[in-house]
């Protein structure tokens, strides 16, 4: 009998976290390749998309939904603001908060990005049946929720 046969954590390939990291790396790499033309990162597209779904969202809420701390959120919003894709506006209900909105350029950039996302997602999902995609998404959501 071999030792450590019960838990199956004696080899690197048995580590779930390792596979998540590799899968993320592969997706990240294909993403940046797909988006090299329009020069947007995963984070930046996520921010644009989320602001599009929730105009006037506060930065802290943006960070919470994308699981970034305030400092990280700042740098991303700064970059997108410098590129003219979104704008800050002091919230009227709570003057501590900065409400974030897409500019017209931001809307256009997001539209362009979404068409790239379609291609990117097709590349990713071609490995799975629609049912498998549902299962995978549900499992991943268990991890990050």
Q: For binding to DNA (CB under 7 A), which residues are involved?
A: 25, 28-29, 32, 41-44, 58-60, 63, 68-72, 74-79, 88, 94-98
Cβ proximity of 110 and 48 under 8 Å: yes
Instruction: Please tell me whether residue 27 binds a copy of itself under the rule CB under 8 A.
Output: yes
Partner whose binding site includes residue 17, from a copy of itself, DNA, none (CB under 5 to 8 Å by kind) = a copy of itself
Nearest to 140 by CA among 23, 13, 51, 61: 23
Which pair of structure tokens corresponds to residue 55? 């105009």
User: Least distance (Å) from DNA to the CB of residue 141?
Assistant: 18
Contacts of 113 by beta carbon, 8 Å cutoff, 6+ apart? 35, 38, 40, 45, 48, 49
| Residue 131 CA to its chain's centroid (Å) | 22
Give the interface with a copy of itself as residue ranges (CB under 8 A): 7, 9, 11-12, 15-29, 31, 42, 46, 49-50, 53, 66-67, 117-118, 120-121, 124-125, 127-128, 132-133, 135-137, 139-144
């Amino acid at each position: 009998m071999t030792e450590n046969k019960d838990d199956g954590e004696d080899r690197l390939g048995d580590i779930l976290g390792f596979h998540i990291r590799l899968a993320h790396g592969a997706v990240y790499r294909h993403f940046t390749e797909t988006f090299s033309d329009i020069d947007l990162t995963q984070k930046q597209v996520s921010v644009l998309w989320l602001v599009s779904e929730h105009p006037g969202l506060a930065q802290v809420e943006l960070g919470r939904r994308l699981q970034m701390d305030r400092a990280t959120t700042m740098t991303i919003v700064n970059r997108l603001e410098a590129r003219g894709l979104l704008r800050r506006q002091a919230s009227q209900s709570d003057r501590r908060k900065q409400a974030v909105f897409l500019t017209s350029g931001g809307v256009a950039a997001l539209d362009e990005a979404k068409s790239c996302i379609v291609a990117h997602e097709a590349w990713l999902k071609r490995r799975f049946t629609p049912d498998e995609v549902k299962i995978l998404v549900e499992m991943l959501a268990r991890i990050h929720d």
